[in-house]
């Protein structure tokens, strides 16, 4: 089943004497295809959870339309929208067993006990909960409780599955395991899903597409690779992962390519997003793993010269901060397999370079 949001806005008015208005969502337009997993990603207060609650029916939009399976559902309450929500707090009943929690929705629908049991056993097998049929929630780990909450949502076969930061209460290692599990289960059942998180790695792992939001608006929609390697603006580039911004100036063009001067040297770019980057001040967006560093005076040369201000050894990688004269922010470089690549010491003079194909230009 598909989901479509048309010009959705949400304005909250305070109840105090100042009558302040807070615009939580501003003109959001989004289409989620049948069977697709789309993640709403952004900082706290960006409007992602409000947007999810509007889809579920827990929050009415101030303006706009919500469509599920080609039916406008603005007037329908949550229990009539054929959606299921997986909450941050799991919201499983402490007095019921695992099997009773999972089958609760089917019991409300009036299914017979034998049919409920058969359906519960089937989904517990898929969710790797086979041996927990009669356990209580307090006998389960955090990951097992989350799988129970997920199984309870899926067993009702909703048209749309909604996730409200479901992994935020788990420790880091369990979060990594569970996001892979959620992706596997979503692909197994091919349920149209909308997932809310502020964790970039989580969004990259579970999503077909990511919707980056800020201040109630959509900044960019795209596949994880596109969002990471070709950000639409400086906010997206800075929010997704770590990044270097290297200022330059367009000084010429030839054969559809643009020559950019970075002060100490120039590079030729062909992967320009639009005509706005062909003239004037530009910013090269370069991820730390795409920066190349070598010792000053080496045969390889480089674009910018600087000094190693800090190094952090992490085993498989070394992270270097490189101070460049005349630039306010140091550059961050990540070197993989440092045993082969060699080490740089704090205070050592180095040159920094990058391949234009690994960079992305934005208007300055």
Residues 294-321 have pLDDT tens digits of 888 765 667 889 999 999 999 899 999 9
Indicate whether 322 pLDDT > 80.
yes
d(CA 20, CA 199): 30
Q: Which two tokens stand for residue 79?
A: 């229990």
The residue assigned the tokens 């898929």 is 126
pLDDT range class, residue 176, cuts 50, 70, 90 = confident
Host H or E run for residue 194? strand 192-197
pTM recorded for the entire structure: 0.88
How large is the average pLDDT for residues 103-129? 89
Position 327 scores a pLDDT of 84
How large is the average pLDDT for residues 11-33? 86
pLDDT range class, residue 253, cuts 50, 70, 90 = confident
Position 196 scores a pLDDT of 96
Position 72 scores a pLDDT of 96
Position 127 scores a pLDDT of 82
**Nearest alpha-carbon partner for 305 in 329, 324, 284, 332:** 324
Q: Which two tokens stand for residue 344?
A: 């740089």
By three-state DSSP, how is residue 26 classified?
strand
pLDDT range class, residue 143, cuts 50, 70, 90 = confident
By three-state DSSP, how is residue 32 classified?
strand
Cβ-proximal residues to 27 (8 Å cutoff; 6+ apart), any chain:
7, 8, 9, 64, 217
Q: What is the mean pLDDT of the chain?
A: 89
Q: Which two tokens stand for residue 187?
A: 């692909």
- List helix spans (H) across the chain: 48-56, 98-102, 104-108, 113-126, 142-154, 172-189, 200-206, 224-229, 234-239, 338-341
Q: What is the pLDDT of residues 37-57, one digit of tens each?
A: 999 999 999 999 999 999 999
Indicate whether 264 pLDDT > 70.
yes
Indicate whether 90 pLDDT > 80.
no
Position 173 scores a pLDDT of 83
Share above pLDDT 70 across residues of the chain, in percent, rounded to a whole number: 95
The count of other CB atoms within 10 Å of the CB of residue 298 is 10
How large is the average pLDDT for residues 344-362? 92
Domain 243-363 has CATH 2.40.50.100: yes
Q: Which CATH number fits domain 3-237: 3.40.50.300, 3.40.50.2000, 3.10.20.600, 3.30.70.141?
A: 3.40.50.300
Indicate whether 281 pLDDT > 70.
yes
**Nearest alpha-carbon partner for 64 in 115, 9, 121:** 9
Structural domain boundaries in the chain: 3-237, 243-363
**Nearest alpha-carbon partner for 189 in 210, 159, 144:** 159
Using an 8 Å Cβ cutoff, are 103 and 119 in contact?
Answer: yes
Q: Which two tokens stand for residue 97?
A: 């067993």
What are phi and psi for residue 10, nearest 5 degrees? -140, 125
- Of residues 314 and 339, which shows the higher confidence score? 314
pLDDT range class, residue 236, cuts 50, 70, 90 = very high
Domains 3-237 and 243-363 share a fold: no
């Amino acid at each position: 089943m598909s989901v479509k949001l048309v010009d959705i806005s949400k304005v909250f008015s305070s109840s105090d004497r100042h009558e302040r208005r807070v615009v939580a969502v501003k003109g959001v337009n989004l289409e989620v295809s049948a069977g697709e997993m789309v993640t709403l990603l952004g900082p706290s207060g960006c409007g992602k959870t409000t947007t999810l609650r509007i889809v579920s029916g827990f929050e009415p939009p101030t303006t706009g339309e919500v469509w599920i399976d080609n039916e406008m559902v603005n007037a329908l309450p949550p229990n009539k929208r054929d959606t299921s929500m997986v909450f941050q707090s799991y919201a499983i009943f402490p007095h019921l067993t695992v099997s009773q929690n999972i089958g609760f929705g089917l019991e409300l629908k009036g299914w017979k006990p034998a049919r409920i049991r058969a359906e519960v056993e089937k989904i517990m097998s898929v969710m790797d909960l086979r041996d927990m049929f009669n356990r209580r929630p307090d006998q389960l780990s955090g990951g097992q409780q989350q799988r129970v909450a997920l199984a309870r949502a899926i067993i009702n076969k909703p048209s749309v599955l909604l996730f409200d930061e479901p992994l935020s209460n788990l420790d880091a290692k369990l979060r990594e395991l569970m996001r892979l599990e959620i992706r596997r289960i979503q692909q197994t059942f091919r349920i149209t899903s909308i997932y809310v998180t502020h964790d970039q790695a989580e969004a990259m792992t579970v999503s077909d597409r990511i919707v980056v939001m800020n201040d109630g608006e959509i900044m960019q929609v795209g596949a994880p690779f596109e969002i990471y390697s070709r950000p639409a603006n400086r906010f997206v580039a800075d929010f997704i992962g770590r990044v270097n911004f290297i200022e330059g100036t367009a000084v010429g063009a030839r054969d559809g390519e643009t020559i950019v001067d970075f002060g100490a040297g120039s590079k030729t770019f062909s992967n320009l997003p639009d005509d706005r980057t062909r003239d004037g001040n530009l910013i090269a967006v370069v991820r730390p793993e795409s920066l190349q560093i070598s010792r000053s005076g080496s045969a390889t040369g480089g674009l910018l010269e600087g000094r190693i201000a800090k190094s952090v050894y992490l085993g498989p990688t070394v992270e270097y901060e490189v101070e460049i004269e005349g630039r306010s922010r140091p550059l961050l470089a990540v070197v993989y397999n440092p045993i082969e690549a060699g080490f740089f010491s704090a205070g050592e003079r180095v040159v920094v370079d990058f391949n234009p194909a690994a960079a992305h230009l934005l208007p300055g």
